[in-house]
Amino acid sequence: MENPGDRKVMKVLSGESVFPPPIWLMRQAGRYLPEYRKTRATAKGFLDLCYTPDLAVEVTLQPIRRFGFDAAILFSDILVIPDALDRNVRFVEGTGPLMDPISAEEIGRLDGGGMHAHLAPVYETVRRLRAELPSETTLLGFSGAPWTVATYMIAGHGTPDQAPARLFAMQHPESFMTLLNLLAEMSADYLIAQIDAGADAVQIFDSWAGVLSEADFARFAIGPMKRIVDRIKAERPGVPVIGFAKGAGAMLENYRAATGIDCVGLDWTVPAKLGQKIQEGGAVQGNLDPLLMVAGGAALDRGVDTVLETLGGGPLIFNLGHGITPQADPENVTRLIKRVRSAGNS
Ligand SMILES: Cc1c2[nH]c(c1CCC(=O)O)Cc1[nH]c(c(CCC(=O)O)c1C)Cc1[nH]c(c(CCC(=O)O)c1C)Cc1[nH]c(c(C)c1CCC(=O)O)C2
């Protein structure tokens, strides 16, 4: 029988402390898994993988079957929103994502009206996933945060410091806010549609929050995030939201209160004391250095123990501090899960 009450990730998201903590890994479906590479090779391209429910369901389930994670994350990408806006999004092997860089004039002409039709296969994937997943496994939907998605739309590709988007925001402040507001409304619509299709909770990835000044973090990261969370809380009350503002450092202290999110994602650079302070307000998620999944061995064990000692006393969803990398060894994931799940048994 379906008993969503058994979903440990949901318990933590409601503020309960569960020990050993539930665990999943950001980017848990991906190139470090041979079965992913095999399925990926059958798709015409990466977006084709995202928009073919048979394939997207399969790659979402692969890490659940292999490792028994406590949560599955929908297989898709944050850049399906610019794709739905006709920005000519491509994923080029070895180069990362590319799209047509947007101008201030073009921002005024963007039209998100076709989004739900374009993303219907993603909603179908969510529906099938909820039906196929074990009842104790939480299903997470996700989107990118407006700032992070905008950095790709403005540069047309990934950059190390997001200089193109920061400069654009200085030179075209009104167009830039128009873009962030549009992305916030579309992201809210997109996440609500994922919730209606069966997502139990959603995560919003602000992977490039760490390059912003304090004033810009308030305007470009917190403002749009709050706008999305306000809509979810008003329109789908009770559905938890995880916010992950990578690299935001001391600005994370106020992030939960300022945005209304239920759980604060912590990257691996967040100091223990700050993490604990944030956890006084509710759930946190993180924050093992993802490179430990390449290194393995005693270094991995020590890293796991440190996260558990630091954050294991409160509401914690064990995760990495950012996505797992293609170089990771699946054996190290097995070792990680075993160590987390046997914690407290000695
Ligand atoms: C910034 C960002 C993107 N995408 C995402 C983010 C935020 C998280 C983060 O910071 O890592 C989020 C994302 N991307 C993907 C997922 C799927 C679900 C999961 O986590 O398992 C999720 C949640 C699949 C993917 N998205 C991508 C892949 C690899 C593409 C392939 O298989 O060829 C996967 C599995 C491609 C992608 N997509 C993106 C980039 C920069 C790249 C290229 C870099 C890379 O290759 O890792 C944009």
pLDDT at site 21: 98
- The answer to whether the CB of 130 is under 6 A from ligand 1 is no
Give the pLDDT score at 60. 98
Q: What is the pLDDT of residue 4?
A: 79
User: From the CB of 36, is ligand 1 less than 6 Å away?
Assistant: no
Q: Is ipTM beyond 0.90? A: yes
Domain coordinates in residue numbering, the chain: 4-341
> How far, in Å, is the centroid of ligand 1 from the Cα of 285?
19
Q: Is the distance from CB of 260 to CB of 313 less than 8 angstroms?
A: no
Give the number of C-alpha atoms closer than 13 A to the C-alpha of residue 200, restricted to the C-beta side.
26
DSSP secondary structure letter of residue 197 = H
How far, in Å, are 9, 12, 110, 247 from residue 19 at the CA level? 11, 10, 47, 27
> If you search the block for the tokens 């991995």, which residue do you land on?
300
pLDDT at residue 346, as a whole number: 61
Q: Is the bond into 287 cis (omega within 30 degrees of 0)?
A: yes
Q: Ligand 1 centre and the CA of 230: distance in Å? A: 26
Domain 4-341 top-level CATH class:
alpha beta
Q: Cα 129 to chain center, whole Å?
A: 17
Sites in the chain below the pLDDT cut of 50? 1
Residues in binding site for substrate? 27-31, 77, 152, 207, 322
Q: Which residue type sits at 191?
A: L
Catalytic positions, please?
27, 31, 40, 77, 152
C-alpha closest to that of 204 among 234, 218, 183? 183
Predicted pLDDT of residue 2 = 60
Annotated binding residues, written as ranges, equal: 27-31, 77, 152, 207, 322
Measured from the CB, is residue 43 less than 6 Å from ligand 1? no
Question: Is 321 within 8 Å of 266 (Cβ atoms)?
Answer: yes
Q: How many residues does this entry show for the chain?
A: 346
Global pTM reads: 0.97
CA distance readout (Å), 276 to 73, 294, 297, 318: 26, 27, 27, 14
CB contact at 8 A, 72 and 137? yes
Q: What's the pLDDT score for residue 93?
A: 83
Q: Which atom of ligand 1 is nearest to the CA of 144?
A: 7
Pair of tokens at residue 146: 């407006």
